[in-house]
Structure 1
Amino acid sequence: MRKALVLSLLSIVLGGCASEPAPRDISGIWINQAAIDEAAKGGGLLDALSSSGPTLEWSIDAKNAKATWRSSFERDEGTLVPDGSASWKVNFYGGENTDLKLEGSELIQSATEFFPRQAFVRPAQSDVGEVSRGTNADLFKSVHFEQALKSAYLGGEWRVLSGAGQGAKVTFSPKGQVSGLPGINGYELCLGGDCATMSGGLDSLWLQQGEMGAAHIFVRKGRTLEIFEAVDVSAPDEMPQLYPGKREWALEKL
């Protein structure tokens, strides 16, 4: 009788343990597709990002209980703690925490006092490729998000309507190369932070040839893209204050 009772109690305990589902593995990269979709409508870039952000990318290593959060200019790493089979808490230094949960194929970042509810998806394989984070600057970049954003926002072919190279076809690659603009072979979009502050909230991008480059102001309206010289009106000891100067190019998406 005693042996039967012990076996019965043991089966209840084991059955209870077995009924607890193991946490699902959410390791990898998750990007803010809603921000990309909003930008792809062809309007202002900073406006699109602010309406769907501020989080642009999550990088999660469940095996080592790490979760890295990136915005347009910040990066923070927290400890990932399972809170069920499809929900987690990310505890950051200083006592702040964020709730994450899976809803279908989306990873949801719950709303907090500071952030709205945000949804993330895994990036398409064609948008990602191998990404090297060899420098300190790279650590703060949402590289996977940025590649997907560049493809959606500036992908395809453009034609120069006015400016140097008029009539030429221009392409902007997801990895930051430019072809078709005379004297330019690389670019970076300003997604926020100091570059947005310096331009007074106007959209800006960095255009360069080799190691030399300069900031430019741009205006995107549907299938047209105007790129202006950025004029710095600040004093020598002040942060740059950039305003649009002469228009250098007008492009039309084909």
Structure 2
Amino acid sequence: MRFALALSLLAALLSGCASNSNRNPDGIWINQVAIDAAVKGGNLRQALLANGPNLEWRVDSKTGQASFSNGFEQSEGKITSAADGKFHIDFYGNFFEDLTIKGDDLIQAASESGPEQRFQQPKDPSPADAPPGSSFEKALYGAYMGGKWKIVDGVGAGSIVQFHPDGSIDGLPGNDRYALCLAGDCAAMSGENDSLWLEKNKQGNAWIFYRKGDQLEILQAVNQAQSDEMPDLHPGARQWLLQRD
């Protein structure tokens, strides 16, 4: 009886290992660890950098292509080998990345470009033809900005604001879209401060923000650069203070 039980357990274990090694890596994988770290509070970009640099992978074994997004740019590579759940990605001679399927995770091995990172498939991915990084942004926006926020101070005090995962806004006076700055030029312009873009009818401006737990403070972004220099944004007067219910 015990021998039979041991054999069944061994078979189940071997079956699990086989299923992991043979699992299809195709699809979108996001850096959920970075999202979880950001949600805990503090500086958004610091949380992403500490758990990055890559935020999303897209793998297509049928075409032999794989790409990643870091919140600012996309790098595309070619799958040069795939065996036992391990995938070697050649970024056209510039550098290489190795991916492994382990359980529910896609693991990017440590390399010259960065430390080991873990990715998971999103519960609600963006369409396949959406821009690179869209699924990560959608998951981040839902977790980091989700819920109902009450305007405690500022224009529209007392109103309820909702930031939706698709980048739309309800209830924030003068705005119908938003975008969080994750990396790139917007990050260079705002320095150590987190920033976001607010707009209405495709016309908008950059703002500095601080998020501490269930409080969100949005301040004017004051440009201290000369007219012929790259903008140098610093926090100005507070425009809104929001509290999440």
TM over 0.5: yes
User: 2:79 is matched with which residue?
Assistant: 80
Report what 1:108 is aligned to: 107
What's the CA shift string for 1:13-39, capped at 9, x where partnerless?
xxxxxxxx9854211000000001001
Instruction: Work out the CA distance in 1 between the residues paired with 2:126 and 2:89.
Output: 27
Which residue in 2 is equivalent to 1:208? Answer: 199
Partners in 2 of 1:98 and 1:227 — Cα distance?
Answer: 39
Match of 1:3 in 2: none
State yes or no: 1:168 paired with 2:167. Answer: no
Q: Paired residue for 1:44?
A: 43
Query: 1:190 Cα deviation (Å)?
Result: 0.1
Distance (Å, rounded) in 2 between the aligned partners of 1:27 and 1:57: 13
Residue matched to 1:16: none
Amino acid at match of 1:242: L
224, 230, 238: which one aligns with 1:247 = 238
Shift of 1:195: 0.3
Is contact 2:21-2:101 (8 Å) kept?
Answer: no
Q: Which of residues 173, 176, 179 is equivalent to 1:185?
A: 176
- Work out whether residues 23 and 82 of structure 1, in 8 Å CA contact, stay in contact via their aligned partners in 2: no
Distance 2:196 2:94 in 1: 36
Shift in Å, 1:149: 0.2
Which of these two proteins has the greater Rg computed from alpha carbons? 1
Identity %: 45
TM-score (ref. length: structure 2): 0.89
Query: 2:65 maps to what in 1?
Result: 66
RMSD in angstroms over aligned alpha carbons? 1.7
In the TM superposition, residue 113 of structure 1 has moved relative to its aligned partner by 2.1
The gaps in structure 2 that reach 5 residues or longer are 1-19
The CA distance in 2 between the partners of 1:119 and 1:129, in whole Å, is 20
TM-score, structure 1 normalization = 0.86
Q: Distance in 2 between matches of 1:206 and 1:159?
A: 20
1: CA distance between counterparts of 2:102 and 2:128?
27
Structure 1 gaps, min length 5:
1-20
Q: What CA deviation, in whole Å up to 9, does each residue of 1:181-232 have, x standing for no partner?
A: 1111100000011101000121000000112100000001111110001111
Q: Give the conservation status (yes or no) of the 8 Å contact 2:215–2:242.
A: yes
